[in-house]
Amino acid sequence: MADIAAPTATAVAGDRRTGLHRLMQRKSTIAFLMALPLILLIGILVLYPACYAIWLAMLNKSMSKFVGLGNFQFLFKRDTFWDVVFQSCLFAITAVVFKAIIGFVVAHFVHNIPSKGQRKWRGMLLVPWVIPPAMSTLAWLWLFDPAYSAFNWILAHFGIGPVPWLGEAAWARFAVILVNIWAGAPFFMIMYLAALKSVPEQLYEAAAIDGAAWWQRIWYVTLPMMRNIIAITALFSLIVTFANFDIVRVLTNGGPLTATQLFGTWGFKLGIESGDIPLGSCVVLFMVPILAVAAAFILRDISRRGSEV
């Protein structure tokens, strides 16, 4: 746009509507070009593969024949598949609920203490979120080790155990969820803390004067004020938890038997490790409905925010 000179515009009076107009048009062209890398990246490496997965899911194992919904039919007959569906839902819902509760509670505690000490506590509480999950899960794996479990060592002093942390289906599910909560709760904590800080102090004072007990203050003041952020964070986390891979992969690799397989890990086992790409695609595609529902909810909020942009 820099090269349009004033004299030219005056000189070509008959050619009015050119300069600035073209400028504006060129502006949107430049804008489009500036966004092009982003569009290409998303188009080629996100949207295309996402659609390609649907196509792959309809091929036979050696990918030489189109079988329509045959793979899905096959999958529906497998017990393991239904186990995975159940486990993924159990895992995601339980973990998110507890993450949300713990995050909320901890955020409150941090909010309650004098603000000059808050930074320090917040810093310590966020550490699980900062460590790459594959690394921290290794620490858990070692804490849960059947022969050397440091937890069992402590429990043994109280005459409990040894607990087969990763050995029995129920315990293994518990362990996987626990690690997920451990890693994810700080995120909720930090989000809620930010939201808590935006609740005006006067509201609590007013509520206190109205005679509200602490739980009433939380119920009538805090929760309504934070409703949006709670919903968004929970949906967000639901997606991430539902699609979890690293924690399960490192901690139990889906075991014992298939008691902790999720869509992601099972899809990996089938698609990459067993070389059955179409069946693996089928499995991971089952995440789409829940993603879509969560995304629709988030979208509602986003469009609200988008209009401000």
Partner 1 sequence: MGFKKVSRRGFVGGTAALSSVMVAAPFVRGAHAAGKLSIGFWDHWVPGANKATQKLVQEWGEKEKVEVQIDYITSQGNKLLLTAAAEAQAKSGHDIMTLNTWLPARYADQLTPVNDIMEPLIKQNGKVNGTVEYLGNIGGKWLAVPATSGTQMKGPCSRLDYMKQYAGLDMREIYPAGAPPKADNWNLDTFLKAAEACHKGGHPFGIGLGTTSDNVDAIGTFFHAFGAELVNAKGDIVVKNDAVRQVLDYYKKLMHYLPDDVAAWDDASNNKFLVSGQGALILNPPSAWAVAKRDAPKVAEQCWTHPFPAGPKGRFGPFLPFFWGVWNFGKNQSAAKSLLTHLSQRSSAEQMVEASGGYDLPSFANFMDFKVWAEAEPPKGTLFSYPDPYHTQTLSIAAAPAPHKIAEQIYNQGTMTQMAVRYFKGEPMEKTLDWASNELEGFMRN
Partner 2 sequence: MAQVTLRKVIKKYDEVLAVRGVDLDIADKEFIVLVGPSGCGKSTTLRMIAGLEEISGGDIVIGGDVVNDVPPKDRDIAMVFQNYALYPHMNVYENMSFGLKLKKTARDEIDRRVKQAAQILDITELLDRKPKQLSGGQRQRVAMGRAIVRDPKVFLFDEPLSNLDAKLRVQMRTEIKKVHQKVRTTTVYVTHDQVEAMTLADRVVVMNAGLIEQVGAPNDLYHSPATKFVAGFIGSPAMNFIPCQLEQAAGALRLRVNDRFSLPVPASRTARYGTYVGRPNLMLGLRPEHITETRPHVEPDQHDFDMGIEVVEPMGMETLVYFTVNGAEVCGRVNPNANAAAGQTMKLRADLSNMHLIDDTTGKVL
Partner 3 sequence: MANAAISAGAPVRPVKYGSISRDRRWAMRWSYFFLVLFVIFFLTPPLYMFITSLKSSGEISAAKNPWWVYAPTLSNYIELLTQNQYLVFFRNSALVSICVVAISIVISVVAAFSLARMKFWGSATLATGVFLTYLIPDTLLFIPLFKMFAFVRDTTGIELMNHWWTLIIIYPTLTVPFCTWIMIGYFASIPKELDEAALIDGATWMQTLTKIFIPVALPGIIAATIFAFTVSWAQFLYPLAFTTSTDELVLPVGIVTTLIKGDVFNWGQIMTGALLGAAPPLIIYAFLMDYYIAGLTAGATKG
Site for partner 1 in 241-270 (CB under 8 A): 252-253, 255-257
∠ CA 62-66-70, rounded to 5°: 90
Q: How far is the CB of 9 from partner 2 (least distance, A)?
A: 4
State which residue, 21 or 78, has the beta carbon closest to partner 2.
21
Q: How far is the CB of 291 from partner 3 (least distance, A)?
A: 6
Pinpoint the alpha helices (H) of the chain. 6-11, 19-42, 48-56, 70-76, 79-112, 115-125, 127-130, 133-143, 150-157, 169-197, 201-209, 214-217, 223-242, 246-251, 263-268, 277-285, 288-306
Measured from the CB atom, is 19 or 167 closer to partner 2? 19
Q: Are 248 and 265 contacting, i.e. CB atoms less than 8 angstroms apart?
A: yes
Among 83, 168, 246, 301, binds partner 1 (CB under 8 A): 168
Structure-block tokens of residue 225? 């004020």
Residue range at the interface with partner 1 (CB under 8 A); choices 54-62, 132-140, 177-185, 222-230: 54-62
Positions 19 through 58 that interact with partner 2 (CB under 8 A): 19-21, 23-24
From candidates 14, 17, 47, 293, binder to partner 2 by CB under 8 A? 17
Q: Are 95 and 241 in contact (CB under 8 A)?
A: yes
Among partner 3, partner 1, partner 2, none, what binds residue 56 when CB lies within 5 to 8 Å by partner kind? partner 3
> What's the CA gap between 98 and 88, in Å, rounded?
15
DSSP string, 31-99: HHHHHHHHHHHHIIIIIHHHHHHHHHTTB-TTS-SB-TTHHHHHHHT-HHHHHHHHHHHHHHHHHHHHH
Determine phi and psi for 82, rounding to 5 degrees. -70, -35
Does position 223 interact with partner 3 (CB under 8 A)? The reply is no
Q: How far apart are CA 169 and CA 257, in angstroms?
A: 8
Binding of partner 3 at residue 194 (CB under 8 A)?
yes
Q: Let me know: does 54 contact 287? Beta carbons within 8 Å.
A: no
Residue 31 Cβ vs partner 2, minimum distance, rounded to whole Å: 15
**74 interface partner picked from partner 2, partner 1, partner 3, none, CB below 5 to 8 A per type:** partner 1
- Minimum CB separation of residue 190 from partner 2 in Å reads 27
Among 5, 11, 20, 45, the residue binding partner 3 under the rule CB under 8 A is: 45
Choose which of 17, 77, 157, 305 interacts with partner 1 (CB under 8 A): 77
From partner 3, partner 1, partner 2, none, interface partner of 234 (C-beta below 5 to 8 A by class): none
Q: Which does 257 bind (CB under 5 to 8 A by kind): partner 2, partner 3, partner 1, none?
A: partner 1
Please give the span between the terminal C-alpha atoms of the chain, in angstroms, as a whole number. Answer: 24
Distance of closest approach, residue 3 Cβ to partner 2, in angstroms: 10
| Amino acid at residue number 95 | A
Applying CB under 8 A, the residues found at the interface with partner 2 are 1, 4-6, 9-10, 13, 16-21, 23-24
